[in-house]
Amino acid sequence: MNSNNNNNNDSSSEDDLQVYETLTKLPPPNELLPRKLTIDIDVKSLYPLKPLPQFCKTYTTFIEESSQKQCIIPDIQVTDENRTLLDYYEENKQNLVYKRFDQLDLGKRTSNDRTYFASLLANFKRTQPRVFFRGEALFDQKLTPCSCDQIQFDSNFESGNLFCAFKKADNVYDLILQNDINTRGNTQWFFFSVTGAKAGQTIQFNILNHLKTGSLFNEGLQPAVYSVKENQLVGTEWCREGFNISYFKSVFMKEYPLSLKKKYYQLRFHYTFKHDGDKVYFAHSYPYTYTNLLEFLNTQLEDQERNQYLSRKVLCTTLGGNTCEVLTITSNSLQKRAFRKGVVFLARQHPGEPQGSYVMQGIIEFLTSNNPQADYLRQNCIFKIFPMMNSDGVVNGNYRCGLEGSDLNRRWKKPNKYLHPSVYYAKKYVKGFSKERQILLVVDLHGHSRKQSSFVYGCAYSSQVKTIERVFALLMSKVNPFMDYSSCTFRVENAKDKTARIQLWRELKINWVYTYECSFYGQQKKHYQIKDYLNCGVSICNALSQIVKDTTKEFTNQANQPDIQQQMLEELGKMPQTDDQDNGSDSSQSEAELSDDEMVQLFQPKTYSMKQKSLLKQQETNNKKKPQQPNSNLKSTLASQKTSILQESPSKNSEQKPPMSSQKPKNPLYRIQAPQRVRQIDQVKQPELPLMVDKSVQTDDWMYRQWLIQMGKLKKQQEFQSFTPTRNIYKSSSQSVTRFIVKNSTTKNDRGRVDSISLMASGLQNKLSSSSQQRQMMRYSGSNFMS
């Protein structure tokens, strides 16, 4: 045994020497490539875009205007109140001064009477999506130039959405916004530029096709304005300017549907230019593009102090080819890592609400800073951040939807992997994260166009004020001076059942799941600045740090500190009962979505819903029934004769004969499959006659079943007396003979019809004395006997 061990040791030492020699002979390894932390700024759009100026490099404050200027420009009255935008174009096409795409023929109508004036449809059935305008590819149409004008408009840049402009009068321009891609509406966000104006020139802008019935423009909201020359001279960033602002019902009807005669809404405002040859941008709110996000993330990743807490990962690729990022922020220390709570932030599900991106930027900047509260949160929490869920919509200038034409915040119940990849993978990611650790908070960041201040939507089944779901919302309102708790609502509405807030709250059983809304306007009729939105994000983190300290007392020596949650609950108990009615809801307008028969023409079959699949099958069957050739009438008659043969009973329809062989169609290419026809006709022409049928005896289903029961009892009694087992009377072919003819019917729901039944039990002939009991003959005519 010892000799064997020594031999084994010697062999292992020899192997080690050989391995060492081979390793020393290997060439030296190549130098490690540096890990790339930054993100390649590659923005993909459905059409070419121009670069934008470097917005928001510095956040300078601006002075609120105490009194708005007044400028009188005569209004042009319109008498006809039942016009559409297409009718407006036909009347004013000679005044057209701008089209977003020069090759578009705005006067073209479609054959199916579905001419949505400002809609572009993107077809995703191929590898590269193609954009169509009223049935023709966007860049394959003929060039139709506009008339020249001193004032020049432009929106061919990221998040721009001005579709066309008309010069109505001197210094008066009518503007029409582009609908969201693959929709017939959703026009509320606007972003365009104007050049060529002179210093001191005042222009009136009329945006004709807004969607919502109410707006903060009537309460003092002003458009966001950025002057390139003003920024070069003074350094002024985005500010709120404009005067004579009004928001009212337009005279133009929506194209969907015309029978309801619903009207658009119109925004009117004036602006006085300050410099000659200046380029001025106008927007609904301070824009935050997809490029702005990538540039901001690169600055965070390039910072040596911040990137040690921040890591990024590509969650998925969107329908338009852009990436959806997910960020992770936490401490590098492994101490108590398993006990850290989970926190999730989402933003920009609606691309026309840039306030969410500014709040998200404030959150990221705070969590990666050297602030003691931020360091405490990193040591006790792991943050999962989805900074831009709908990057395609942001790039292409949509207000509410993605490229598939649906609201992503109404797809969280059953998201489609191909149509809504960001929602599908984000939900899957969050559900996996919840299995790893306890999720303490989920916040979905949005913007609100009808209410002032900032507030939250929460979830609660109970209408009681003193509930755990309201605790964190009340704490945020204590910390954040821009938040109004009285505007918060806590309900689970059916209209919002498919939102991220309700679905994550219901499936993951998390108490604090909120939709955080920031107003487009501000608070107490004072405009929010960009810095205010950033501070809202910081306030959310400050409130979270207090809650985390409250939940981790059992692991620390802070048990003597007051309980924050208990204090909030006591304060909630003193508040009056509220009805939680949200009068200014920004709920989605489902009527703006395309119909199912239009959607199936744009996407692959794997993305269809059950309703769309059934609709497509119905269309295919209808197309087969429609005549396509001049001899189709003869084909339809032959088909009807063929089906009539298969559906008719020979007993009642014996007079009708099958089609003669001499009746041949004029088209020699048309043939009926001979084997199938012969087989089916033979089945009808040569039926087997029933045995022992007595037409004088008629019975119904109930009588027949009673007779079967009696026959079964007699058979059991016979077996008991003879003690000789016999086969079942219902299954034995020797004891019972059944003959029937089944009528094949496609127009009724019955499975079969028995015209005649004859049964004979040979084993009971010796026991039955009377001739009437020797043979039972009956006739059955019912609907469910053979079921």
Residues taking part in catalysis: 517
Specify the amino acid at residue 594: L
Q: Which of 601, 595, 593, 611 is nearest to 126 (CA)?
A: 601
By the 8 A CB rule, do 320 and 181 touch? no
Q: Are 225 and 190 in contact (CB under 8 A)?
A: no
Distance of CA 129 to the CA centre of its chain: 18
Q: How far is CA 226 from the centre of its chain?
A: 33
Strand 341-347 and strand 439-448: the pairing is parallel
DSSP 380-419: HEEEEEES-S-HHHHHTT-SS--TTSS-GGG-SSS--TTT
DSSP-assigned beta bridge partners for residue 225: 239, 282
Q: How many CB atoms lie within 10 A of CB 317?
A: 14
In this structure, the chain runs to a length of 787
Burial 750-778 (b: 16+ CB within 10 A, else e): eebbbbbbbbbbebbeeeeeeeeeeebbb
- Residue 535 and residue 520: Cα distance in Å, rounded? 15
- Burial degree of 543 (CB within 10 A; 0-12, 13-18, 19+): buried
Token couple for 665: 């169609």
Q: 């200046």: which residue's tokens?
A: 278
Q: Identify the CA nearest to 177 among candidates 153, 197, 201.
A: 153
**216, 309, 476, 625 from 377: Cα distances, Å:** 37, 11, 16, 67
First to last CA, the chain: 81
The answer to whether 211 and 264 are in contact (CB under 8 A) is: yes
Of 394, 292, 387, 411, give the one whose Cα is nearest residue 350.
394
Tally the C-alpha atoms within 13 A of residue 256's C-alpha that lie toward its C-beta.
19
Q: Are 470 and 459 in contact (CB under 8 A)?
A: no
- Residue 564 tokens read as 């924050």
Alpha-carbon gap, residue 445 to 364, rounded angstroms = 13
Residue 68 CA to residue 480 CA, distance in Å, equals 30
DSSP assignment string, 645-682: HHHS-TTT-TT--PPPTT---S-TT----HHHHHHHHH
Asked whether 373 and 315 are in contact (CB, 8 A), the reply is no
**Spatial CA neighbour of 582 closest among 444, 461, 486, 518:** 486
Q: Which amino acid is at 471?
A: V
Q: Quote the CA–CA distance of 419 and 406 in Å, as a whole number.
A: 9
CA distance 379 to 385: 17
3-state SS string for 27-74: CCCCCCCCCCCCCCCCCCCCCCCECCCCCCCCCCCCCCCCCCCCCCCC
Burial (0-12, 13-18, 19+ Cβ within 10 Å), 37 = middle
Q: Coil, strand or helix: which one is 633?
A: helix
Q: Name the token pair of 585.
A: 């809801």
Instruction: Output DSSP code: residue 230.
Output: H
CA dist., res. 399 & res. 161, Å (int): 9
